Amino acid sequence: MKRMSLIFALALASATATAADLNLNASSLKLKVYKMAVSTSPLCTNLTTVIDNSSSPTEMELVGSVNMGTGTIANGTYPCIVIEFSDIIKFKPSANSDTGNCSTGTEAQLDVCQSGTSALIDGTTTTCTNGNDRVAMYISTASTSTTGSDAFNAPTSLSDSTKGFNLATALTVSGSSSGKFIVNPDGKVCDGANGSCDGGGGSTCRLMPPLFSFTKL
Q: Give pLDDT, residue 10.
A: 43
**What pLDDT shows up at residue 65?**
59
Phi-psi region of 39 (alpha: psi -120 to 50; beta: other; left: phi over 0): beta
Split into its structural domains, the chain has a count of: 1
pTM of the model: 0.86
User: For position 200, what pLDDT does the model report?
Assistant: 61
Q: Judge whether 71 and 121 are in contact, CB under 8 Å.
A: no
Structural domain for 49, as ranges: 2-216
Mean pLDDT by 10 residues, the chain (217 residues): 47 48 90 92 95 87 67 85 94 93 92 94 95 95 87 95 91 71 85 81 85 73
Q: How far apart are the first and last CA of the chain?
A: 18
| Distances, alpha carbon 123 to alpha carbons 104, 118, 126, 133, in Å | 40, 10, 10, 16
